[in-house]
Structure 1
Amino acid sequence: MKVDGKTMIKDIVDMGPKAIEILMSFGMGCIGCPASQKESIEEAARVHGINVENLLQSLNNI
């Protein structure tokens, strides 16, 4: 699956443990929060002050 800024957090979590590990390594510890499941990765990155391009690159290298 190709991840872009509009990809929902829930879809990334569904990619499996490696994707979850990457999100956690970027400081997104709230991925288990029900509210985060309705956010795009771009929205979540902005809230957490994370460089979305770096995050997307890491996720797409899985």
Structure 2
Amino acid sequence: MVVTEYSLIGALLRFYPDTIEDFKEVGMNCVGCQSSAKETIGQACNVHSVEVNELIKKLDKRING
């Protein structure tokens, strides 16, 4: 799977539930909330002041090896 800043967090967590660890690692502890289901990675990074490329790298490594 290709992870981009436009990927929906809800879809990512549905298909790759272990990615929640990557979100928590960068300080996004509320990824289980309802609003995150329709939020993109880019939007969440903006709200939480997280570097989007850093998170995408972590997610890509976990999903694609």
Q: How many residues align?
A: 61
Amino acid at match of 2:55: L
* TM-score where L is the length of structure 2: 0.88
User: C-alpha displacement at 1:46, in angstroms?
Assistant: 0.4
| Structure 2, gaps ≥5 residues long | none
Give me the CA root mean square deviation: 0.8
| Structure 1, gaps ≥5 residues long | none
* TM-score where L is the length of structure 1: 0.92
The structure 1 segments of at least 4 consecutive aligned residues displaced by more than 2 Å after TM superposition are none
The residue that corresponds to 1:24 in the other structure is 24
CA distance in 1, matches of 2:38, 2:17: 18
CA distance in 2, matches of 1:36, 1:28: 10
Amino acid at match of 1:3: V
